[in-house]
Structures are given as structure tokens and as C-alpha cells.
Amino acid sequence: MLEPKTEIRMVGHILEKSVIFELEKALKDIDVEVMHVEVSFAALKAGVEERMPSVMRFYLVGSKKDRDEGVEAINEIAGKTKCKIEYIKERM
């Protein structure tokens, strides 16, 4: 069965700003699952030294209401960590 999901792509200093841990904390009380998380960066040293941003792509899986609540939390994390959300797309 296909689950409705929201695809999110975020750009910024994902590893250096501990965005993954912030995401886990912010979503722990929301009934969504973060799945298929990919973090990529051009070069490790440049990424860690904050000279080049990294990209994180993942899916939120859950009810539409819970995913919308999760997206609000993700927008707050993006603002707090100065990351940019490149896109948010509903998928089936």
C-alpha cells in the first residue's frame, strides 16, 4: 500500500548545526515518521568548516494533519538553524 507522504529538501549546514537531532526532538510528539533520510555534501572538510552547505532530503509519513504539523516544526528548525527549505511536495 502506498502511504501519503511529504517530501522535503533542506539546504544549509545540516551536520554542523545538528539539524537531524533538532528534527528528532521537534517531531517526537507528532505522529509522523521521518523516512529515507539522505544528507549529501560536496566535501567533508568544507562542509564541516561551514564553507559549503549540505543538502538533506527526506519524507514525512503520516496523516495529512500530522504532516502539516510536522512541516510547521521543520520550518521553525530551518529558521533557527539558518537553513533553507528548497521544496516541500506532497507525494503518493
What is the mean pLDDT of the segment spanning 26-48? 85
Number of domains in the chain: 1
pLDDT at 77 over 90: yes
**For residue 61, what are the domain limits?**
5-91
Quote the pTM value: 0.85
pLDDT digit string (tens) for 45-65?
665 666 788 899 999 999 999
3-state SS record for 25-70: HHHCCCCEEEEEEEEECCCHHHHHCCCCCEEEEEEEEECHHHHHHH
Q: What is the sign, positive or negative, of the torsion defined by CA atoms of 56, 45, 13, 15? A: positive
pLDDT at 1 over 80: no
Task: Say what the pLDDT of residue 49 is.
Answer: 64
CATH number for position 13 = 3.30.70.260
User: Comparing C-alpha atoms, which of 16, 73, 5 is closest to residue 39?
Assistant: 16
Q: How many C-beta atoms lie closer than 10 Å to residue 13's C-beta? A: 20
What is the mean pLDDT of the segment spanning 3-12? 92
* CA separation for the pair 45, 89 (Å, rounded): 31
